[in-house]
A and B are shown apart, each in its own frame.
Chain A
Amino acid sequence: MSPTPLGYLEAAGERAQIILPLTWLTLTISILVCLVIAILLWMGVRRARLAGGAEQMRQVEIIHGAPGTQWFTVGLTITAVLLFITLVWTMVALAKGAAPAAPTAMTLDVTGMQWWWEIRYDSSEPDKTFITANEIHIPVGMPVLVRLHGGDVIHSFWVPRLSGKTDTIPGQTNITWLQASQPGRYRGQCTEYCGAQHAHMGFEVVAESPADFERWREHQLQPAPPPATPEQQRGMQLVQYRCGLCHEVRGTLAAAVSAPDLTHVMSRRTIAAGTLTNGAGVLGAWIEGAQQLKPGTLMPNQDLTAQQLSDTLAYLETLQ
């Protein structure tokens, strides 16, 4: 990953690419203006005849001084030209950024929740529709329409390498779009303050070749495999009985929708909304101590015996 995964001075997607040159333009103008003013100020102050305090004041005569009209004519003309260039460029970029140039290949519904993301892959064929969490896969090079929904409070959907921010607001549907120009994993983050764990509300966008994406989608459509060992069997019972109060594992009795879908949880690189790198050990720690790892998260600490935990993990590990 890049040294600054959330930096926006690099772009890897169309919409970010529309913004980036304008960011550089305004940034360059800004830095130049600061430098010019700093130099003018420095040179102006260097003209000072005296330094000290009140006793120095009367040693310098009061003067009428020149009216200084040219300061305004020159200064304001330059300012107006720079503003005009920025304004025109802004309008062009605004129009371009509003919608992708090509028709969108697919549509995602993303819902911001305290403190995770639900992602629903829409399809005209109902059996091709599925739900996942915190990890978005898209085919590289194709524009993807993203419909944003607010699940509880306001959040903001942001993948800086691919696109700017759009808020997810309860009661309304906002639209944005993603189009990755290179394959890769791009970090996303909630950027509207949303409560205790706003800091830990990340996600990832995985841009992959259309063929890889198709394979991923086919895999995600599969329900969870049946348990193969007695351990996994006991683990599934526990998952249905306890995790199933909030989570869904398709193909089992766990079918609640108020927390991330776990059907393919082990296929995801991170858990807890980009907070922890996934793996059996981490998952176990999370199940036992979510409140220590992400204080205030809606996931309660599970008071499991060692046996129960290893059974649960044995089953969860099959959810590839």
Chain B
Amino acid sequence: MKAAAYRTPRIGIDSVQHQARMTELWETEPGLKGFLSTVDHKHIGTRYIVTAFVFLVFGGLEALLMRLQLAGPNKELLSPEQYNQLFSTHGMTMIFLYALPILSGFSNYLWPLLLGSRDMAFPRLNAFSYWIYLAAGIFLYVGFLMGNGPNDGWFNYVPFAERDFNPGLNQDFYSLGMVLFGISTTVGAANFLVTAMRTRAPGMSLDRMPILIWGTLTANVANLLVVPAVSLAFFLLWMDRQFGTHFFQPANAGQPLLWQHLFWIFAHPWVYAIVLPAMGMVSDGLPVFCRRPVVGYTLLVLSTVATMILGFGVWVHHMFATGLPTMGMAFFSGASLVIVMPSAVAIFAWLATIWLGRPVVTTAFLYFASMILLFVIGGVSGFMTASVPVDWQLTDTYFVVAHIHYVLIGINVFPVLGAVYFWFPKMTGRLMDERLGRWNFWLTFIGFNLAFLPMHLTGLWGMPRRIYTYPDGMGWDTLNMITTVGSFLLAVGILLFVVNVVKSLKSGVLAGANPWDAHTLEWSVPSPPPPYNFAVIPTIASRHPLWEDRLGEPARSSINRGMLLDEGKETIATTPLDAEPDMVLEMPEDSYAPFLSAVATTLIFVGVLVKLWILAAVGAVATIGALVAWLWPRRELREREPPPVQEAVHG
């Protein structure tokens, strides 16, 4: 890639002829070929979003079944085994297959558009990451549909997950599926990192990046560091189960607590990874509807990063009842309390943005604004569990179930639904229906709070989590009925959302490039964006390239004039801090290699699962083959053989 740096790209103005040439260069072929081979981040992003949403619906249906079982005492709709697989699969689905992938989907779609680039840094890796995610999702769900879903909760404590207590294939599906899923997350994280550091439009220095970029970037730095811990843990578990190693088996001096450490050192940062990008969506979206730049940009960015750094030091608060030394717990208790501070920064920044701005109420605004309250409710219950003695009572009761749902629905699902209302016109060219949107919002808001606010009390009155039924006379009957009613109301709200999406896709009002009069770069391109995103690479002079004139900022970004980069599939690489142009990036064509590598990798896991070693070997060889094809040096990408350069000018 280095060689291309010697060329100085031509500067020019956007034109129809130029756009036609760019379309020819960048467009994905129609049909199956394009479907399987595309590396366009917008296609991949949309796939992520749709797939993750399908998993959200699966997880939701599982939840509704559980709510029917728990609507009253001693119900026998589900057997204990069915219930236990349902709650485990529900957790796995929502936390792994929905919560991060949906955000990866939005980030995949939006990042290059927000950054003023033409694609992610590694487009083929991006496609690979999606296919592996899909494969892992299918792998895990095949297990579930065969009656071999996970049955030990999403955190899967040993020794119950060991073969002695869990002889079926359930835990093998879960372990191997999670390792497979970890590959997707890891390569995706690496791609986000390089994309943020190297492919921003010239002039978009670090302090001009949208906060969504900061959120996703921070989350993915964390993922890169912690996903190996859980992949390792699941691999060790599988070894214990299949080859008699003793990592977690106390009978052979293994350590059950080792699992908990390896799991939570991953899973607590993961909780931040699945909310920080969503908080970024609110930080970027809310100001548009408040008609002013966000209050406290620098503080918000610092709080995002600080949350993650502190987030590495709080995992033990999931283990306050495991008999760890008091001194150690005191440290983690303190850290878990301190982490409230950066969250408070975000809350006050958003509140101040509403108060010091001129809000216009739309459905997207309602989702973003209501998230502030839901975040606070989920936050204060987290604050309570941070106090060790209080947690001795709260932990493993429905109080924690209420907490996790305020965090995951409040800080993930609500911003995501708001983000769909906000960016749907960009992605499809059509606005979503606002009237249906209001019904959709209020049903989800009321349904959600009806289901989960009383659940705090269910917890305080002692209902343990993960029980398939409960006796009467415990004081939980009415509360559980309310929760069941609320959860169905929430489901109706989500159904209405789907109806609105389908309806608006067909007959929504045409949006134009910038329907919300927003300030970031994605709104400078047509809706839906052309395959190449930006006909010319913009040059950025502020945080609000589309509001500069009205904010009276002296600097002016250049949107329509910039580097043409039309000698191939090209975009510009810039320096990590100041985003000065550094080199021309030759971007890869569409390719089957990512899809085939993903299929081959999955074959390995299927072979290993059923212990058909020959199949695993075939998968391994095929994976290597696909990777060789993928990485084969090609002159057009100038991955080898830099052309001779005459360095006459400067000697």
User: In chain A between 146 and 182, which residues have their CB closer than 8 angstroms to a CB of chain B?
Assistant: 148, 150, 152-154, 156, 158, 160, 163-167, 169-172, 174-175
Interface segment, one of A6-14, A124-132, A218-226, A239-247: A6-14
Is A62's CB within 8 Å of the partner chain B? yes
* A20 and chain B: residue at smallest CB distance: B393
A271 smallest CB distance to B (angstroms): 14
Using A4-B474, A44-B355, A170-B159 as known contacts, say yes or no to A19 and B389 having CB atoms under 8 A apart.
yes
**Are B431 and A54 in contact, CB atoms less than 8 angstroms apart?**
yes
B104 to chain A, nearest CB (A): 27
**When the two chains form their complex, are residues A150 and B323 in contact, meaning their CB atoms are under 8 A apart?**
no
Binding site for A on B (CB under 8 A): 79-81, 84, 152-153, 157, 159-160, 165, 250-251, 253-257, 288-289, 291-293, 295-296, 299, 321-323, 326, 329-330, 333-334, 337-338, 340-341, 344-345, 347-349, 351-363, 369, 372-373, 376-377, 380-381, 383-384, 387-397, 425, 431, 434, 437, 460-471, 473-476, 509, 511, 515-517, 519, 547, 550-552
Contact with B along A76-94 (1 / 0, CB 8 A): 1001100100110111011
Verify A79–B344 contact, CB threshold 8 A.
Answer: yes
B152 touches A41 (CB 8 A): no
Indicate whether A38 reaches chain B with its CB closer than 8 angstroms: yes
- Please, how many angstroms separate the alpha-carbon atoms of A27 and B509 in the complex? 47
> Which of A45-53, A100-108, A137-145, A248-256 forms part of the interface with chain B?
A45-53
Q: Within 8 Å CB of B391, what residues of A?
A: 164
Of all chain B residues, the one with the shortest Cβ separation from A192 is B396
Find chain A residues with CB under 8 A from B355 CB: 40, 44, 47, 68, 71
* Distance, CA A97 to CA B623, complexed state (A): 56
Cα-based distance from A189 to B465 in the complex (angstroms)? 11
Q: List 28 A-B contacts (CB under 8 A).
A: A7-B462, A18-B389, A37-B351, A44-B351, A44-B354, A48-B358, A49-B360, A53-B437, A57-B360, A68-B353, A68-B355, A71-B352, A87-B333, A87-B334, A87-B337, A153-B165, A164-B389, A164-B391, A170-B256, A172-B257, A175-B323, A191-B395, A193-B160, A195-B84, A198-B84, A198-B464, A198-B466, A199-B469
Instruction: Report the bound CA distance from A105 to B183 in whole Å.
Output: 55
* Shortest Cβ distance from residue A231 to the other chain B in the assembled complex, whole angstroms: 33
Among candidates A34, A52, A79, A89, residue contacting B362 with C-beta atoms closer than 8 Å: A52
Which B residue sits closest to A72, measured CB to CB?
B348
Residues of A within 8 A of B547 (CB): 62
Complex contacts, A76 vs chain B, CB 8 Å? 341, 344-345, 348
- A170 pairs with B250, CB closer than 8 A: yes
Task: Give the CA-CA distance A61 to B470 in the complex, in Å.
Answer: 57
A91 to B390 alpha-carbon distance, docked (Å): 11
Q: How far is the CB of B430 from chain A (nearest CB, A)?
A: 11
A187-213 interface bits toward B, Cβ cutoff 8 Å, 1 = contact, 0 = none: 001111111111100000000000000
Instruction: Report B-chain residues with C-beta under 8 Å of the C-beta of A87.
Output: 333-334, 337
Closest to B468 in A: A199
Taking a contact as CB atoms closer than 8 A, the residue among B387, B394, B462 that contacts A4 in the complex is: B462
Output the residue of B257, B292, B341, B391 with the most chain A CB within 10 A. B292
Given contacts A30-B380, A150-B250, list 19 more A-B pairs with CB under 8 A. Answer: A1-B473, A7-B461, A8-B393, A26-B384, A34-B373, A54-B431, A56-B360, A63-B292, A64-B552, A67-B296, A75-B344, A83-B341, A94-B326, A152-B159, A160-B462, A166-B392, A170-B159, A199-B467, A199-B468
A295 to B466, CA, bound (A): 16
Given contacts A54-B362, A57-B360, A98-B326, contact A196 B80 (CB under 8 A): yes
Please indicate the chain A residues that have their CB under 8 angstroms from the CB of B81 in the complex: 196, 296
Which of A29, A62, A91, A156: most chain B Cβ within 10 A?
Answer: A62
B373 touches A152 (CB 8 A): no
Which residues from B are CB-within-8-Å of A306? none
A38 to B380, CA, bound (A): 13
Q: Does A228 contact B (CB under 8 A)?
A: no
- Contact B387–A26 (Cβ < 8 Å): yes
CB-CB under 8 A from B341, the residues of chain A are 76, 79-80, 83
Q: Are B473 and A169 in contact (CB under 8 A)?
A: no
Query: Measured between C-beta atoms, what is the minimum distance from A33 to chain B in Å?
Result: 5
- Chain A interface extent, by class: 35 or more
Q: Which residues of B contact A29 (CB under 8 A)?
A: 380, 383
Residues of A near B337 (CB, < 8 A) are 83, 86-87, 90
Residue-wise interface mask of A (272-298) relative to B, using a CB-CB cutoff of 8 A (1 in contact, 0 not): 000100000000000000000001100
Closest to A297 in B: B80
Partner of A71, one of B323, B348, B358, B509: B348
- Point out the residue from B356, B363, B437, B463 that lies within 8 Å of A66, measured CB to CB: B356
Q: Out of B345, B384, B431, name the residue touching A30 (CB < 8 Å).
A: B384
Answer whether residue A215 sits at the interface, using C-beta atoms and an 8 A cutoff.
Answer: no
Contact A94 B360 (CB under 8 A): no
- Please report A residues at the B interface, Cβ cutoff 8 Å: 1, 3-9, 16, 18-19, 22-23, 26-27, 29-31, 33-34, 37-38, 40-41, 44-45, 47-54, 56-68, 71-72, 75-76, 79-80, 83, 86-87, 89-91, 93-95, 97-98, 114, 148, 150, 152-154, 156, 158, 160, 163-167, 169-172, 174-175, 189-199, 275, 295-296
Distance to closest chain B CB from A170 (angstroms):
4
A44 touches which one: B159, B359, B395, B552 (CB < 8 A)? Answer: B359
Q: How far is the CA of A194 from the CA of B156 in the complex (A)?
A: 10
Closest-CB distance, A303 to chain B (whole angstroms):
22
In the complex, A275 Cα to B468 Cα: how many Å?
13
Shortest distance between the CB of A145 and any CB in chain B (Å): 14
A288, B516: Cα distance in complex, Å = 69
Q: How far in angstroms is the closest Cβ of chain A from B99?
A: 21
User: What CA separation (Å) do A49 and B461 show in the bound complex?
Assistant: 43
Is there an interface contact between B361 and A48, defined as CB atoms closer than 8 Å? yes
Q: Given A6-B461, A37-B372, A63-B357, is A165 in contact with B396 using a C-beta cutoff of 8 Å? A: yes
**Quick check: B345 and A45 within 8 Å, CB to CB?**
no
Contact of A37 among B358, B376, B395, B475 (CB under 8 A): B376
Most interface-central of A40, A53, A150 (chain B CB within 10 A): A53
Rounded to whole Å, the gap between the CB of B233 and the closest CB of chain A is 15
Cα A97 to Cα B388 in complex, Å, equals 10
**A49–B289 CA distance with the chains assembled, in angstroms:** 11
Inside 8 A of A9's CB, which chain B residues have their CB?
460-461
Please tell me if the beta carbons of B381 and A195 are within 8 angstroms of each other in the complex: no
Contacts of A86 in B (CB 8 A): 337, 383, 387
A152 touches B165 (CB 8 A): yes
Cross-chain contact of A193 among B153, B362, B388 (Cβ < 8 A): B153
Complex contact B517–A7 (CB within 8 A): no
Q: Is the CB of B292 within 8 A of A40?
A: no
Is B323 in contact with A68, judged by CB distance below 8 angstroms?
A: no
Q: Is the CB–CB distance between B362 and A41 below 8 Å?
A: no
A62 and B392 contact, CB distance less than 8 A: no
Q: Say which residue of A1, A54, A148, A154 sits within 8 Å of B511 (CB atoms).
A: A54
CB distance from B606 to the nearest CB of A (A): 28
The answer to whether A33 touches B460 (Cβ under 8 A) is no
How far is A69 from B470 in the complex, measured between Cα atoms in Å?
51
Cα A89 to Cα B333 in complex, Å, equals 12
Q: Are B360 and A51 in contact, CB atoms less than 8 angstroms apart?
A: yes
Closest to A199 in B: B467
CB of B402, distance to nearest CB on chain A (Å): 12
Contact (A53, B517) CB under 8 Å given A60-B360, A83-B341: no
Query: Of A1, A59, A95, A198, which contacts B467 at CB under 8 A?
Result: A198
A176 to B391, CA, bound (A): 15
Answer whether A295 and B358 are a contact pair too, CB < 8 Å, given A65-B292, A191-B395: no
A60 to B288, CA, bound (A): 11
A197, B257: Cα distance in complex, Å: 23
Do A62 and B551 touch (CB < 8 A)? Answer: yes
CB distance from A297 to the nearest CB of B (A): 10
- A60 vs B518: C-alpha distance in the bound complex, in angstroms? 12
In the bound complex, what is the Cα–Cα distance between A158 and B552 (angstroms)? 63
Minimum distance in angstroms from B571 CB to a CB of chain A: 30
Name B466's closest neighbour in chain A (CB-CB): A193
- Return chain B residues, CB-CB under 8 Å to A53: 362-363, 431, 434, 437
Shortest B48–chain A CB gap in Å is: 25
